[in-house]
Amino acid sequence: MNVIEGGPSPRPAFGVYIHVPFCSVRCGYCDFNTYTADELGDGATRASYADTAIAEIERAAETSGPRPVETVFFGGGTPTQLAADDLVRILAAVDDRLGLVDGVEVTTEANPDSVDPQALATLRAGGFTRISFGVQSAVPHVLRTLERTHDPANVERAVRWARAAGFEQVSVDLIYGTPGESVDDWRISVEHALSLAPDHVSAYALIVEQGTAFARKVARGEVVMPDDDETADKYLLADDLFTAAGLDWYELSNWARDDAARCRHNELYWTGGEWLGIGPGAHSYRDRRRWWNVKHPAAYAQRLAADDSPEADGEDIDDATAHVERVMLETRLRSGLVLDGIEAGRVGGVVERGLATIEADRLVLTREGRLLADAVIRDLLD
């Protein structure tokens, strides 16, 4: 592995996101840019995907030159739908063309059913340091509603294999607020997750995304979403149980055992870092410009095969947009929103209502404020 040495760079932290668009089954609630093999046909295959992604990495390096990479995140989709050797090859290309810093964080998402001991050992030996398992729920009827296909019994086994392989950090992802999920169901899922002794947990409220199969079921009245009070109760229950188990919140939907267990790649997004997105539909951000690739994997592969840029479009980020985005992201963090540029009257109103406190020069949400974070952000901006 290449090591970038020297003093701290004046440029923002830099990461690389690798989008792997393959899933064995497309869940009805998901609006990510993912596809099953049947949907893609011959236009883009798992067997050829690593070479296509590497071609984009090489093209990006030729355009912008080496840049020390502090975090790499393989997301999707299900990255572990690719062979472990292919994931390692992609990571090696990032190292060869851009350069990985000493102590780089390298994460892959994974379905508990899509890994085995050999694959995990290959990933760890190839430089992966962190793995995030999509658990979502431990209750079978909730998983069926979400159209998740993994067996809850396989989660413990997958985590045990990851530990044995030597991963430095193991994270689990949960979803609450599924139609038909009771508070007791949610408690079972949280307690099951904690029984795995994870270093990190993400817990997200289910959002009905327009255009998904799940949204159509809601529109037809086939499933009924829980009310806001129940969703809030589930958040508070999770926070209580995570905190009691030694996991502290550092972002509204994320808890970590200590600072080292935080997802540094996501923190880069939240704190003004820059990143290169690789893969169909992947977004990038550098030098106050955001751009994104063509969405369909076949079109993406065709562009790179023809030595053309996969970029679909982009936009320059002006000061007003940058301010809005900073408020939206920093407010969600335990470290809080830097108050520079924020109107004092707006800040005072939020604090007076008990939704935030002032710590040094930052606005930090209270527990009640965390439940009303979107409203707080609107009050700070409107």
For the chain, what are the domain ranges? Answer: 14-270, 318-382
Could you tell me the fold of the domain covering 14-270? TIM Barrel (3.20.20)
Quote the pLDDT of residue 157. 96
Short-list 99, 81, 28, 124, CA closest to 279: 81
In whole angstroms, what is the distance from residue 104 CA to residue 302 CA? 32
Query: pTM of the full predicted structure?
Result: 0.92
In whole angstroms, what is the distance from residue 192 CA to residue 200 CA? 14
Beta bridge partners of 88: none
Per-residue pLDDT of the chain (382 residues; tens, 9 = 90+): 443 444 444 689 999 999 999 876 655 555 455 666 655 655 578 889 999 999 999 999 999 889 999 999 999 889 999 999 999 999 999 999 999 999 999 999 999 999 999 999 999 999 999 999 999 999 999 998 888 777 788 899 999 999 999 999 999 999 999 999 999 999 999 999 999 999 999 999 998 766 666 667 666 766 667 688 999 999 999 999 999 999 999 999 999 999 999 999 999 999 999 999 999 999 999 999 999 999 999 999 999 999 999 999 999 999 999 999 999 999 999 999 999 999 999 999 999 999 999 999 999 999 999 999 999 999 999 8
What SS3 class is residue 346?
helix
Torsion, Cα of 82, 88, 93, 96 (10° steps): 180
What SS3 class is residue 135?
strand
What SS3 class is residue 125?
helix
Dihedral sign, CA of 346, 287, 15, 207? positive
CB-based contacts of 193: which residues, under 8 Å, 6+ apart? 135, 138, 172, 174, 201
Angle at CA of residue 279, ends 276 and 281, nearest 5°: 95
In whole angstroms, what is the distance from residue 291 CA to residue 64 CA? 14
Quote the pLDDT of residue 22. 87
